[in-house]
Amino acid sequence: MATDTATKSELINLLDEAVKNMEMKGCCNAVKEALEHVVASGKDFVEEEFMRPCEDRYARHLLYLDPEKRYSVLAMVWAPGQGTAIHDHAGMWCVECVYRGRITVTSYSCDKEEGDRYWFTKEKEIIAGIGDAGALIPPFDHHTIVNTFDEKAVTIHVYGGEMTWSDCFLPDGDSYLRVRKELSYTP
Task: Work out the pLDDT band at 25, boundaries 50, 70, 90.
Answer: low
Q: What is the pLDDT of residue 15?
A: 86
Whole-model pTM: value is 0.89
**pLDDT grade, residue 18 (50/70/90)?**
confident
Which of 66-70, 126-130, 146-150, 155-159 has the weakest average pLDDT?
A: 66-70
Taken in order of first residue, the domains within the chain and their CATH numbers are 49-182 (2.60.120.10)
Phi and psi torsions of 161, nearest 5° = 140, -160
Lowest mean pLDDT among 15-19, 50-54, 138-142, 163-167: 15-19
Q: What distance lies between CA 11 and its chain's CA centroid?
A: 16
Mean pLDDT confidence for 42-70: 94
- The alpha carbon dihedral of 91, 104, 31, 152 has a sign of positive
- Please state, in angstroms and rounded to a whole number, the distance separating the CA atoms of residues 88 and 140: 9
Which pLDDT score is estimated for 1? 54
Query: Can you tell me the distance from the alpha carbon of 125 to that of 143, in angstroms, rounded to the nearest whole number?
Result: 9
pLDDT number for residue 118: 98
pLDDT band at 138 (very low <50, low <70, confident <90, very high): confident
- The string of pLDDT tens digits covering residues 85-106 is 999 999 999 999 999 999 999 9
SS3 label, residue 152: coil
- The pLDDT assigned to 21 comes to 59
Q: What distance in Å separates the CA atoms of residue 37 and residue 15, rounded to the nearest whole number? A: 11
pLDDT category, 113, cuts 50, 70, 90? Answer: very high
Mean pLDDT on 120-130: 97
